[in-house]
A and B are shown apart, each in its own frame.
Chain A
Amino acid sequence: MPFGNTHNQLKLNYSSDQEFPDLSKHNNHMAKILTPEMYASLRDKETPSGFTVDDVIQTGVDNPGHPFIMTVGCVAGDEETYEVFKELLDPVIEDRHGGYKPSDKHKTDINPENLQGGDDLDPNYVLSSRVRTGRSVRGFCLPPHCSRGERRAIEDLSIQSLDSLDGDLKGTYYALKNMTDDEQQQLIDDHFLFDKPVSPLLLASGMARDWPDGRGIWHNDNKTFLVWVNEEDHLRVISMQKGGNMKEVFNRFCTGLTKIESLFKDRGHEFMWNEHLGYVLTCPSNLGTGLRAGVHVKIPNVSKHEQFGEVLKRLRLQKRGTGGVDTAAVGGVFDISNADRLGFSEVELVQMVVDGVRLLVDMEKRLEAGQAIDDLMPEQK
């Protein structure tokens, strides 16, 4: 139960079998992994802030999933969730993140100097470039579980820190509940505005409580660096611009993140991070780097090639429509981004995108000229 830990003691009066959810029609990571024995062992535990196993899995119980898409089906309510419920979450993480083991260590690298190239993607094909990640503020509960007071405190901290940014990063905060109609329209036109979640995956976890209290959007004057406050995570940080200069996008991303982190530290706060899970975020799918680096790229020929899926798989990339997750491609333009989040550093993931997209553009040019691409087929990364 979001923010309340209602009932957990009372539930223990019933047997574990009586409480165990019916997962017979379910297809998500949680449902694959949770057994009655595991549930029995976890049901009397709670994190220091009172998050319980039923809180973790509620979204997965309420959303059986899709026959073709495997959703995660669980969320964290605070940093300790990943410890207290590791019996469930370690296998979920392993399943979701390509075999990542409980003993594995995650590498963090946000030094943009380590990226090779990336400033040379052909803008005739690569229409825009974008990198996003999330950050959680240590000591506070996460969006499924936080109180209004905590959410407002995160918003205040964010505003104070972001207001200190200068130069290319100087910008303004727009609180969702105070926005004028004009501001709102501008943010919609810029494709910056986020709305109250409608996805039942998010609603069932309690993330939309008290909307729009404590939520807002910050962006720099140049509209190339954007921070979402208290949407699906405490902070979502986005660097983006038109064209194919991913190096510049990643530079700004790393510079901005590093500055924000130090501004939070000045105020006595750090981000949730550890050497096993990297950056800790609400959804287990975003652990590690929480990073999705992607481009909108025009590849009408490559995308129709019978080997397209195989190419993406070997490059460790995924495709989406240009509306983002769960949308279709329009006019041969695809959103191509890294498939991984955990077990690779930020630099490694962006490198994969840069190298992979360069290859896709080369293939596109070959196919345009009526030539074959067999010799360009990559090895599995």
Chain B
Amino acid sequence: MASFTRMIAGRNPAVLLASLGAGTVAAGFLLSDSSALSAEGKKSLYPPRYQQHHLLIIADFPDLRKHNNCMAAALTPAIYAKLRDRVTPQNWTLDQSIQTGVDNPGHPFIKTVGCVAGDEESYEVFAELFDPIIKDRHNGYDPRTMTHPTDLDASKITNGVFDEKYVLSSRVRTGRSIRGLSLPPACSRSERREVERVVVTALAGLKGELTGRYYSLGDMTEQEQQQLIDEHFLFDKPVSPLLTSAFMARDWPDARGIWHNNEKNFLIWVNEEDHTRVISMEKGGNMKRVFERFCSGLKQVEQLIHERGWEFMWNERLGYILTCPSNLGTGLRAGVHVRLPNLSKDTRFSKILDNLRLQKRGTGGVDTAATGDTFDISNNDRLGKSEVELVQMLVDGVNYLIDCEKRLEKGQDIKVPSPVAQFKK
């Protein structure tokens, strides 16, 4: 057991075992978890070395009793024991994947994911943990049996231009990872710099309305910085403990930057929470055009990196591979800033959003409150439906919300729509 030897080297197993007292959490799991070893009952069945190994693993099992996140719901001592000594080809471990979920117990009302991938292989090597998390987060999607459709043909979108009396701006974002390089929680400085080099070189090849330039976070001037802040383009070093506990902020601001086109409606973040985040946005309600530019830009970037021998991380079970399991599949959030002064006060507002598979956020983005009557409305789902399907759902949903708003303005009643169908099983 080569990995066992490596694990105990320098970690003083005799000391750990000797100090496992009756009052520890570890002993608690030993005695109560029926799927783990019960030290007394099974002592005679296992040779001493194996028993010692199991006790060591239990000594390291995190205390998740106060936790409310997808990882804590899915991780059992048995799964931990099975996966703990595995490593991905890049030597990324389970403990590293779950560190953010251990450090951040979560919120009673918001269920965070609680684990991250360090590389593409994490989703395979630690499948026993990631699969149930994916199911939990993505409405029962089973990566073992289902396939994820990718569709970036924007011409299929219908009714994608909103009434600008209500919709103030439209935006679509996703992420892309460069195959062969570790993800932000795990990457070394070289790998991160390589991601930057690959992406920036490719973006320099964009032409026409996508011509633009790159601003490295470490090198930008004060004026450039102020400009990017004013345009709401600048991203800052993460302060959220969800991200910093996942090791994503190491070496900041090395190899981080922002690229945008001259028209300022196509924007790429490099090495923030993912290798790249790709954003198409404009004022007003022309979601169709925003999505057209999004798809066209993505395809061109993909072509440009192919020319140099690189590709995006993608497979047909999980779609596009990103750092957080919540962003698998399309990684797509399509949304609008929309004024709904009457509808937002209606008690049926939340139910309507639920059935349309939409979520509301404040206009500052996730975890912000709405100002006035303007909301950020976007799709809930990421995996199991294609980009076109999700954007069409958003389009149909927003049109429905605007229709409700208009009716309420005129004193007419509104109806809660039937729930949109889940993916085919």
Q: Which residues of A contact B (CB under 8 A)?
A: 1-11, 14-15, 18-22, 47-50, 54, 58, 61-62, 78, 139-141, 147-150, 152-153, 156-157, 160, 177, 203-204, 208-211, 213, 268-269
Contact = CB atoms under 8 A, between A and B. Distances in A.
Contact of A18 (B19, B92, B182, B190): B190
A157 B103 contact: no
6 nearest CB pairs, A to B: A149-B59, A49-B10, A14-B190, A48-B10, A18-B190, A149-B60
Contact of A6 (B10, B12, B91, B249): B91
A47 B10 contact: yes
B24 A152 contact: yes
24 contacts: A1-B247, A2-B247, A3-B95, A6-B91, A6-B92, A10-B91, A10-B182, A11-B188, A11-B190, A21-B189, A22-B218, A49-B9, A50-B10, A58-B250, A62-B252, A140-B15, A147-B60, A149-B56, A149-B59, A150-B16, A153-B15, A160-B21, A211-B103, A213-B62
Contact of B21 (A48, A61, A156, A204): A156
A4 B93 contact: yes
B96 A21 contact: no
B341 to A, nearest CB: 40
A210 B19 contact: no
A48 B11 CA distance: 9
Interface residues of B, number: 47
A6 B96 contact: yes
Contacts of A54: 188
Nearest to A152: B24
* Most chain A CB atoms below 10 A, which of B11, B60, B93: B11
Nearest to B56: A149
A93 to B, nearest CB: 23
A3 B118 CA distance: 15
Interface string B239-264: 00000110101111010000000000
Contacts of A141: 10-11
B249 A62 contact: yes
Interface string B4-28: 0000011110011011110111100
A235 to B, nearest CB: 15
A148 B62 contact: yes
A152 B20 CA distance: 8
Contacts of B129: none
B62 A210 contact: yes
Given A54-B188, A153-B19, 7 more contacts: A4-B91, A5-B91, A6-B91, A14-B188, A48-B9, A62-B252, A149-B16
B154 to A, nearest CB: 39
Contacts of B91: 4-10
A21 B254 contact: yes
B352 to A, nearest CB: 40
A258 to B, nearest CB: 22
Contacts of A269: 15
